[in-house]
Amino acid sequence: MSEAVVSPVRVGRLSIGALGILALALGTLQSVVEPALPLLQRELGVSPAEGALVGNTLLVTGAVVAPVAGKLGDRYGGKRVLVRLMAVVSAGGLLAGLAPNLPVLLLGQVLQGVMVGALPLSFILVRHHLPAGASQLAIGVVIALFTGGGMVGTLFAGPIAEGLSWHWMFALPTIAIIAMTLVVTRLMPHDPPIRSDSRIDWPGMVLLSGTLLAFMLGLVKVTGSGLPPLAIGGLAVVVAALATGWVVVERRAASPMVDLRMLAKPALWHSCLLTLVITTSFGMVAFLLPQLFAVSADGYGFALSTTDIGLFLLPGAVAGAVGDSLGGIAARRFGLRAVLIVGAVVTAATMIALVSLHTAAWQLALAKVLAAIGAGAGTTALLTRAATAVEAGDTGIATSLLVVTRVIGVAVGSQVAGAILDAGSDAVTGRPAESAFAAGFAMAGLVAALSLSPLVLRSTKKGIQA
């Protein structure tokens, strides 16, 4: 394999800004479901576990598409693949905006899910068109704006859903995505693809996509449908068989989708493992808090509207953007291990405190802020570490693996939290018992504490090696 000898075209702030605003619009579209989930559950007549599926459908697609998008971006150019993915996202957003029922909404979420592939494609463009130091800063900015889109979506989902309808909270960000895609297409120069005589490893792509899809759909079924042990065992066998087949194909491929030697680098697999732990805990918190805000006030809940839920979640969205933007900087200054340990201690302590301290709305809002800062700083530091630990030609696939891990972690956390609430719901009213929320917070705290295991202390001893 040989790369084309072409000097990269340096880009200015306007091009990077357009890429960032596109990330902002994508983050907005991704986040509108969170504050509106109780409303969607009421209007669509679904349980908490089924409600988690509305958001996780997008994550399932994202987990499948992200590594494929990253590899294709490395091979054919990030801009070329990014524009095509945005066309699919736009179709999904418009479909969700017109959805008359749950199946159509889920189909729209499936198409929207390819937006997860936009992040590694953006990293390819940034890495190619900027020098090393500036590219690290730009990666942090893009991630921060994607997270900032979560702030925008959280804030405006309620007023839009209540003032117009929930359909518009999908349609409006989609219009912005279409507009910014056109701007990026005009301003961002093409990044030359990597020239190679080897064919694309389509078998590897299919097997990896199948493994992720089987795992994510199996997770939804196991936590939401109460499958018998035999069916659960069958799903586990399918996932294991697909994963084994993928490893075998990658070891024999002349030009594998994922070079397993790269995946074996401690900087990469340690980052994937820790990202999974951090995002699983955060996924539980992100699902439980709006559910608790929406529970009727004749007991332990708050009976908040979608707009009010968004306002209480807004500080957490801001904190997440701050954590994302500062993660790489903090790790470089204080060391990766320090960032992870502080984040784990704060998150675990916050979740354990919520087991008994969840009687005031400000307590929940503060908990979201602390958890978002810890998760954002930790995962961004790990992503930056992985992006700078591989060759430039592997940036897309390496960061895709981290993005997929983030997606899987959030999906696992929210689906498990939904199952906990379902298990603790009253058979007549369908309302979860207060003890179910307490159990969910305790579980989230225990998962966060796993980041303090000896493996973490060893794997992050030397911090980021950039």
Answer whether residue 452 is part of any domain.
yes
| Other C-beta atoms lying within 10 Å of the C-beta of residue 359 | 10
Same domain, 25 and 64: yes
Same domain, 306 and 223: no
Same domain, 292 and 228: no
- What pTM value is reported for the model? 0.67
Same domain, 242 and 391: no
Residue 252's Cβ-count burial label (10 Å; 0-12, 13-18, 19+) is exposed
Is there a contact between 294 and 303 (Cβ–Cβ < 8 Å)?
A: yes
Report the C-alpha gap between 376 and 119 in whole angstroms.
Answer: 15
Report the C-alpha gap between 445 and 215 in whole angstroms.
Answer: 24
Same domain, 290 and 416: yes
Block means of pLDDT (10 residues each) for the chain, 466 residues, are: 45 70 84 80 71 70 71 71 86 86 80 79 67 61 74 81 84 89 78 60 75 71 65 81 84 71 71 83 86 77 81 81 69 72 83 86 87 80 68 64 77 82 74 84 86 60 44
Report the C-alpha gap between 319 and 274 in whole angstroms.
Answer: 20
- Residue 416 confidence (pLDDT): 83
- Residue 464 confidence (pLDDT): 39
- Residue 406 confidence (pLDDT): 80
Same domain, 102 and 246: no
- Residue 325 confidence (pLDDT): 67
The count of structural domains within the chain is: 2
| Structural domain range at position 223 | 201-256
Is there a contact between 37 and 421 (Cβ–Cβ < 8 Å)?
A: no
Domain closes at, from 256, 279, 295:
256
Same domain, 71 and 144: yes
Report the C-alpha gap between 311 and 308 in whole angstroms.
Answer: 5
- Residue 259 confidence (pLDDT): 66
Same domain, 294 and 399: yes
Residue 247's Cβ-count burial label (10 Å; 0-12, 13-18, 19+) is middle
Same domain, 330 and 307: yes
Same domain, 186 and 113: yes
Same domain, 241 and 299: no
Answer whether residue 465 is part of any domain.
no
- Residue 186 confidence (pLDDT): 80
Buried b (16+ CB within 10 A) or exposed e, 4-24: eeeeeeebeeebbebbbbbbb
Among 296, 21, 239, 11, smallest CA distance to 141 is for 21
How many CA atoms are closer than 13 Å to the CA of 18, on its beta-carbon side? 18
Domain closes at, from 235, 256, 277:
256
Same domain, 109 and 97: yes
CATH number assigned to the domain comprising residue 310: 1.20.1250.20
- 3-state SS, 277-339, equals HHHHHHHHHHHHHHHHHHCCCCCCCCCCCHHHHHHHHHHHHHHHHHHHHHHHHHHHHHCHHHH
Is there a contact between 400 and 209 (Cβ–Cβ < 8 Å)?
A: no
Contacts of 18 (CB under 8 A, 6+ apart): 180, 183, 184, 187, 188
Answer whether residue 353 is part of any domain.
yes
